[in-house]
């Protein structure tokens, strides 16, 4: 296991947060839950009927599911309180009691309400659900964090070539959620990603906001957006270092950074790359993952008022285990 992941797992063990896994019968999720329980990564909450979960655990040969907290949404003692909270929060949207009851029967909505009402600290889902299905309940009931209007997804990239980033560790965003941010949203993504780099990746963030231009080498409204976002991020979070607009090579290659942006302290030394839109971010992380054989940990969702993380439906058991640990770290404020 990579030393960074060892640190993330150790932090999770130390803080032992309550992580809810709503896809409780999904085999990879159950195996990850079993590992998390055996290794004290978190207090695991599974949603569903006790007998069904135990039957599936037996089929899979799992030994530790008995240590999980299993909650049946139909019989949970706080179900009525959850419905009242939902009706209050969505009154302006015309939510009816019947609709609230139906939503609460959905494990993804029930998981979010456990977090909203302080019965869980975080959620990991997506092995069996599309991103939109995971995020919709979070947007409706958890909402964004203070001073955030946008949710984004960061990847911690662990590169075998230690020349780049901090000994091979870099953070990329947004690679998962918001298709076309404006300058204010791009600045928020940059700030959130700096915090993820500091708190989860355990690096001192040097954030480059990328473009096809470096310091005025090209003129275009897309470049103007990045320039504006840099200024907004610097004003909003002066505790972090931001620079841009920078081309990718100018951001990570010292000689090119020195040539193209000699006044910049980040050019050539960036360890956090913020892409101007989702297309470029998603393409870049997948290319680096495949061509450079990097390990891509994520997406780590940023900007929500509580830690909720969405998995790829192609995720492995190890991916889910790591995301449980990362979500516990987020819940601990690390």
Which pLDDT belongs to residue 216? 87
Over 80: is that where the pLDDT of 334 sits?
no
Question: How confident is residue 314, by pLDDT bands cut at 50, 70 and 90?
Answer: confident
Give the Cα separation of 250 and 265 in Å (integer).
11
pLDDT at 143: 93
Express as a percent the part of the chain with pLDDT over 90.
90
Whole-number Å distance between alpha carbons of 196 and 192: 6
**Alpha-carbon distance 252 to 163, whole Å?**
9
Q: In the structure, what pLDDT confidence band is assigned to residue 271 with cuts at 50, 70 and 90?
A: very high
Residue whose structure tokens are 């079993």: 34
pLDDT of residue 244: 87
Write out pLDDT tens, residues 140-157.
999 999 889 999 999 999
Q: CB-based contacts of 117: which residues, under 8 Å, 6+ apart? A: 78, 81, 82, 85
pLDDT digits (tens, 9 = 90+) for 68-91: 999 999 999 999 999 999 999 998
DSSP state letter for 139: I
**142 secondary structure, DSSP code:** I
| Residue 315: how many other CB atoms lie within 10 Å | 18
Instruction: Considering only CA atoms, give the Rg of the chain.
Output: 21
The model's confidence at residue 193, banded by pLDDT at 50, 70 and 90, is: very high
Q: Which strands form 241-246's sheet, in the order they lie side by side? A: 241-246, 206-210, 272-274, 169-173, 152-158, 295-302
List the Cα angle 108/89/312 in 5-degree steps: 25
pLDDT at 134 > cutoff 90: yes
What number of other Cβ atoms are within 10 A of residue 302's Cβ?
A: 29
Q: What 3-state DSSP class applies to 10?
A: helix
Burial readout 244-278 (b: 16 or more C-beta within 10 A, e: otherwise): bbbbbebbbbeebbeebbeebebbbbbbbbbbbeb
> How far apart are the C-alpha atoms of 251 and 267, rounded to whole Å?
4
Determine the Cα–Cα distance for residues 146 and 139; give it in Å rounded to an integer.
14
117 neighbors 306 (Cβ within 8 angstroms): no
Query: In the chain, what are the domains?
Result: 3-143+306-331 (3.40.50.10950), 152-295 (3.40.50.10750)
Give mean pLDDT, residues 233-258: 96
Q: What value does the mean pLDDT take over residues 29-56?
A: 96
Closest CA to 152 of 173, 180, 166, 167: 173
C-alpha angle with apex 150: 9 to 333, nearest 5 degrees? Answer: 30
Query: Residue 220 pLDDT > 90, yes or no?
Result: yes
SS3 call for 148? coil
pLDDT at site 313: 86
């Amino acid at each position: 296991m990579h030393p960074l992941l060892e640190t993330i797992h150790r932090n999770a063990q130390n803080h032992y947060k309550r992580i809810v896994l709503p896809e409780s019968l999904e085999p990879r999720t159950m195996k990850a839950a079993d590992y998390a329980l055996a290794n004290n990564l978190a207090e695991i909450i599974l949603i569903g009927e006790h007998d069904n979960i135990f039957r599936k655990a037996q089929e899979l040969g799992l030994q530790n599911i008995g240590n999980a907290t299993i909650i049946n949404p139909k019989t949970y003692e706080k179900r009525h309180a959850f419905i009242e909270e939902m009706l209050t929060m969505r009154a302006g949207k015309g939510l009816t009691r019947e609709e609230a009851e139906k939503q609460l029967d959905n494990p993804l909505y029930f998981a979010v309400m456990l977090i909203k009402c302080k019965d869980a600290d975080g959620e990991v889902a997506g092995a069996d659900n599309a991103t939109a299905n995971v995020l919709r309940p979070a947007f409706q009931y958890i909402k964004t964090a203070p001073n955030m209007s946008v949710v984004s997804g960061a990847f911690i990239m662990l590169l075998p070539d230690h020349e780049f980033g901090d000994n091979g560790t870099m953070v990329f965003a947004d690679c998962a959620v918001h298709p076309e941010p404006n300058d204010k949203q791009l600045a928020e993504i940059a700030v959130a990603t700096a915090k993820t780099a500091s708190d989860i990746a355990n690096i001192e963030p040097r954030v480059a906001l990328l473009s096809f231009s470096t310091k005025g080498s090209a003129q275009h409204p897309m470049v103007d957006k990045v320039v504006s976002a840099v200024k907004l991020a610097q004003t909003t979070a002066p505790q972090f270092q931001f620079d841009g607009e920078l081309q990718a090579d100018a951001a990570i290659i010292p000689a090119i950074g020195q040539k193209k942006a000699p006044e910049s302290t980040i050019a050539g030394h960036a360890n956090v790359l913020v892409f101007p839109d989702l297309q470029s971010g998603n393409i870049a992380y997948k290319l680096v993952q495949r061509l450079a054989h990097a390990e891509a940990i994520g997406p780590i969702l940023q900007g929500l008022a509580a830690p909720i993380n969405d998995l790829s439906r192609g995720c492995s058991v190890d991916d889910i285990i790591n995301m449980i640990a990362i979500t516990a770290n987020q819940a601990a404020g690390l």
